[in-house]
Structure 1
């Protein structure tokens, strides 16, 4: 069966499971011929899968809930990042070691998942976000490294790794660790395709899960595979450090117990709550229609 998988971003270790599944023949073992298409600044995997241009896609659970609110008929069959990598970073020499230390400091944020999750984390732990000076920043680290801000929202699989690569020690605060448990890196397809081809969807789930498992057992080989996809733009040392951190978001205790990529309804409920409070989600969404755990039952 020939299918395509659309990434939400440019190739990197975030998609190691898929690249390894392709290179090691795990897709082929499931009877699949998979074309992996890259994402980018102007490439939206949700739009392309919904339009039928791609069979499967990867994206964030937040965006998939917004798609459901707009009646885009998609269904998620796995979330490979059990632990959402959105968080907040501070330099270690800033003296910021607890959430309480945020008060009176300056936080730089970019709109999106990490900032929404950060606000939810602070509220859940009794910190008034209005007691923190807030400024908008981009995704680069110049503001925090130059001392213009004390904290910055990040994906902790990426920006903290870059900072440490430049010799900075950092402290990272992850909402998941403070009671805001959500997941990311969701594998999805259209509801029509899933209803007609459930065995293909589950074959994708198994192959990618197997790819992640193999990657963590053979990290240097996995790095060879990922870097070969885009050797001009991927730095091996940075990708190695990112893969080490990514292991902590893929292989959580729940993933070990229930299977890599498995889902919990409570995490979808948390995404829904966070988006209603901080992301502008208003339409009612039937969460049971947004995902299916059939591939894990």
Structure 2
């Protein structure tokens, strides 16, 4: 009896079926190659606190990882300058005040890739008992200034107003102010001002002098990197800013969860943690980041840039100013 001949289409089906099955098995047994992550470091200007909630939350919630970024946050402090972390290569990115970024650019080619704090929270704080009511009353007085890049705004003001001020180096402590070693101390609205209130002083005991109220409303925290990084890795910069925007949005929408995250990071860094103070700080950060609802998160406004450059040029803190397009490399302009 002759052998049955397999029909050609059955031969094709059997071969194809076996090949398909082999591919499925290979796919199950051999995992697909994971997408590579960009490992970078972001230097913060100060120790972990709600000032940096957007960055900390974005890392904690995996927003940077979702953009393919393995981010390490480097804390700052009284003796750790974020701009120096860029200069020495210890960090690829850093948070800086706009004034710091502009002045630092004279010796280091830094650029802004994302501006977050749109309104200045910097102030000088005096006691009402001192009789100081305005910046002009500081003439002939002792004023505490942080001995780092945060004093540019104050020194520009003293020069602009022709004030004869004795500058006393200020540490992270407010003890010198409390003991009347200085008549005015440096502070941030979201931090030192509320710290003094938590010490038992009343609002009536303090005279805050806001730079934002005398024409020096300078944008503060933004993300900076070397020009080379922005030129050769524009997509990385874009993704870093995008994830940070998402971090701030989440932080403002989920206050209690954000405070839990911040306090956990502060405790891990052995930084004194106080939930009511961090709540105040987070709310003030929202005030100064969402200061203008018409400006998208992460955008540096050209008019702000030009205004700060003009003041720094007039007061001698800059000899030459970069153009806006040279300095700002953000996605939206």
Q: TM-score range by the shorter chain?
A: 0.7 to 0.9
Q: Which residue of 2 aligns with 1:106?
A: 141
Contact 2:156-2:311 at 8 Å conserved across structures: yes
Aligned match for 2:278, one of 239, 244, 257: 239
Q: Which residue of 2 aligns with 1:15?
A: 52
How far the C-alpha of 1:265 sits from its partner, in A, is 2.3
How far the C-alpha of 1:19 sits from its partner, in A, is 0.4
What is the 5 A alignment of 1:49-64? Answer: 49-64=86-101
Q: Which residue of 1 aligns with 2:12?
A: none
Q: Which residue of 1 aligns with 2:168?
A: 136
SS at match of 2:104: helix
Q: Which residue of 2 aligns with 1:80?
A: 116
Contact 1:116-1:279 at 8 Å conserved across structures: no
Aligned match for 1:27, one of 61, 64, 76: 64
How far the C-alpha of 1:26 sits from its partner, in A, is 1.6
How far the C-alpha of 1:263 sits from its partner, in A, is 0.8
Q: Greater CA radius of gyration, 1 or 2?
A: 2
Aligned match for 2:312, one of 275, 278, 286: 275
The 3 A distance-change label for structure 1 pair 119 and 228 is same
Cα distance between partner residues in 2 of 1:153 and 1:50: 26
Contact 1:4-1:55 at 8 Å conserved across structures: yes
Q: Which residue of 2 aligns with 1:223?
A: 259
The 3 A distance-change label for structure 1 pair 178 and 24 is same
The C-alpha deviation readout for 1:74-108, integer Å capped at 9, x for no partner, is 211112211122211123455544456x2667341
Contact 2:144-2:182 at 8 Å conserved across structures: no
Cα distance between partner residues in 2 of 1:261 and 1:93: 41
Contact 2:124-2:187 at 8 Å conserved across structures: yes
How far the C-alpha of 1:120 sits from its partner, in A, is 4.8
Provide structure 1 residue ranges, at least 5 long, that are not aligned to the other structure. Answer: none
Aligned match for 1:206, one of 242, 246, 255: 242
Cα distance between partner residues in 2 of 1:279 and 1:153: 22
Provide structure 2 residue ranges, at least 5 long, that are not aligned to the other structure. Answer: 1-36
The 3 A distance-change label for structure 1 pair 171 and 209 is farther
RMSD after superposition: 2.7
Cα distance between partner residues in 1 of 2:138 and 2:42: 43
Normalising to structure 2: TM-score of the pair? Answer: 0.75
Deviates more, 1:1-10 or 1:38-47: 38-47
Q: Given the alignment of the two structures, is residue 157 of structure 1 paired with residue 193 of structure 2, yes or no? A: no
Cα distance between partner residues in 2 of 1:207 and 1:292: 18
How far the C-alpha of 1:163 sits from its partner, in A, is 0.3
Q: Which residue of 1 aligns with 2:29?
A: none
How far the C-alpha of 1:57 sits from its partner, in A, is 1.5
The 3 A distance-change label for structure 1 pair 288 and 160 is same
Contact 2:98-2:219 at 8 Å conserved across structures: yes
The C-alpha deviation readout for 1:255-283, integer Å capped at 9, x for no partner, is x212123112232233333434546433x
Contact 1:87-1:117 at 8 Å conserved across structures: no
Cα distance between partner residues in 1 of 2:86 and 2:182: 39
The 3 A distance-change label for structure 1 pair 191 and 244 is same
Cα distance between partner residues in 1 of 2:190 and 2:69: 30
SS at match of 1:172: strand
Q: Which residue of 2 aligns with 1:286?
A: 322
How far the C-alpha of 1:238 sits from its partner, in A, is 2.4
